[in-house]
Amino acid sequence: MTRAMIKKAFLGLALVGWVCIWALPKQAEAEPLYFALEVRREGRLVAQPKLLGETGRTVRAERRQPGAKVPDYRLVLTPTSEGSMFHLELDLILPEIKGHSSDVALMHGQERRVQLGRWPGDLEVSLLLMKVDSPEFRALMDLSKEAEEPGTARPI
């Protein structure tokens, strides 16, 4: 091979590499999310976690009484986004029961109920998802701040 041929081959490979990198889909930037859940076991409220997370990262939450060997609950959420839809993988473990849902689809501000147990009503999760950087989320946080401040009245 001559030097000119080697140079052309190298430039060709560099061009192919650049095209491959340019053509790859860009990784979506992580979207900060707020999750409000209500966990019911046989109709009885057993947990009400409110969590912050972001797309592409697993969120884990656990509540355990001091000194307890077993947690009251263990929750794992894995959110991803596709266009305007958010998809969640949800795992929930209570002392006597566990549940899993591989694809819960929600839009921003949507609330949904998911049955996780073997029987209807056995284990149910109500889930609200909001984008953190949204007017709805800011409004929700302002309302809760007013409710926490003693001596303030909320407008009717």
pLDDT grade for 142, boundaries at 50, 70 and 90:
confident
Note the pLDDT of residue 74. Answer: 94
Residue-wise pLDDT tens digits, 64-88: 999 999 999 999 999 999 988 999 9
CA-based R_g, the chain, Å: 24
How many alpha carbons fall within 13 Å on the CB side of residue 134? Answer: 14
* pTM, 2 dp: 0.70
Tokens of 59: 């969120």
pLDDT of 21: 43
CA distances from 115 to 63, 90, 97, 125, 142 (A): 21, 11, 13, 7, 31
pLDDT band, very low/low/confident/very high, at 102 (cuts 50, 70, 90): confident
Is pLDDT above 60 for 15? no
Question: H-type helices in the chain, by residue range?
Answer: 3-23, 135-148
Amino acid 136: pLDDT: 84
Higher pLDDT, residue 24 or 122: 122
| pLDDT of 55 higher than 90 | yes
Q: In whole angstroms, how far apart are CA 120 and each of 104, 116, 117?
A: 17, 8, 7
End-to-end CA distance of the chain: 84
pLDDT of residue 13: 47
* Entry field: residues in the chain: 156
| Residue 36, pLDDT above cutoff 90 | yes
Residue 60 scores a pLDDT above 80: yes
Residue % of the chain over a pLDDT of 70: 71
